[in-house]
Amino acid sequence: MMEKTKKLANGIEMPRLGLGVWRVEDQAATDSVRWALATGYRLIDTAAIYKNETGVGEGIRQAGLAREDLFVTTKLWNSDQGYESTHQAFDASLKRLGLDYVDLYLIHWPVEGKFADSWKAMEEIYASGRAKAIGVSNFHQHHLEELMQTAKVKPMVDQIELHPTLTQEPLRNYLASEGIAVEAWSPLGQGTILKNETLVAIGKKYQKSAAQVIIRWHLQSDIIVIPKSVHEERIKENFDVFDFELTAEEMKQIDSLNIDERLGADPDHFDF
């Protein structure tokens, strides 16, 4: 029986499967968050740059669940990085979400010369209790090593592009050795691998879709996963992955699909 939460380094329990809302408009974000929470999701992942924090907050309110039962993540955008501006950006995110605190606050990308100052502000936000955990996104090993030279608190999560054609094993091994949880964005490869014969064949065996197989592969690989959808049926389908288990051989077959294929920017070369 798979645990539905993962204990972060500071003892906080983070759901292993959540809803991502990248490229989702405000109203659609409200609907998809409400549907997800009704389905059983408890982790919602947004970001300031998605420009839908207001819609996410509205979806949370409409769902009517106790705040302590939810796990809400948002992220600090690149143009807001720096010590003072991080504090201001965080306050603005909380206001848009309509929340007193978030469960996880992430630095969205490793902006050179700025992420260490941003992290200092995030450590203060964490100490204040207004973020229950703090972490990073799109950080390679060398970015983390640089951050840790000045950090007092080690990041608890690194959210990275990760899917069967970009398995990121060296980075995952490093993160495991540091006690940093791995979270996948674009976990379904933005749909590019849903017709892959291996994944379709494995799915047939369990009467599951390729997407469900991929989500299950993430979960069994100890990766927190946040598939995105704006369709109620798909949101439900993506959550229906706790009633089957991939064999060790099937896990290896999926691992072997890796071709180090990035669909998003390389964290060493981004210009936004």
Read off the tokens for 139.
């950080």
Q: Which of 50, 83, 126, 206 is catalytic?
A: 50
SS (H, E, C) 81-139: CCHHHHHHHHHHHHHHHCCCCECEEEECCCCCCCHHHHHHHHHHHHHHCCECCEEEECC
Of residues 263, 215, 260, the one with CA closest to residue 4: 215
Query: Is 105 a residue of the active site?
Result: no
Rounded distance between C-alpha atoms, residue 129 and residue 172, angstroms:
28
Rounded distance between C-alpha atoms, residue 46 and residue 53, angstroms:
7
Rounded distance between C-alpha atoms, residue 96 and residue 58, angstroms:
9
Q: Tokens 């991080």, residue?
A: 86
Rounded distance between C-alpha atoms, residue 169 and residue 146, angstroms:
20
Chain centroid offset of residue 62 CA: 23
Rounded distance between C-alpha atoms, residue 67 and residue 147, angstroms:
31
Rounded distance between C-alpha atoms, residue 147 and residue 23, angstroms:
29
Rounded distance between C-alpha atoms, residue 97 and residue 51, angstroms:
11
Rounded distance between C-alpha atoms, residue 225 and residue 2, angstroms:
14
Read off the tokens for 271.
């210009």
What positions carry a catalytic annotation?
50
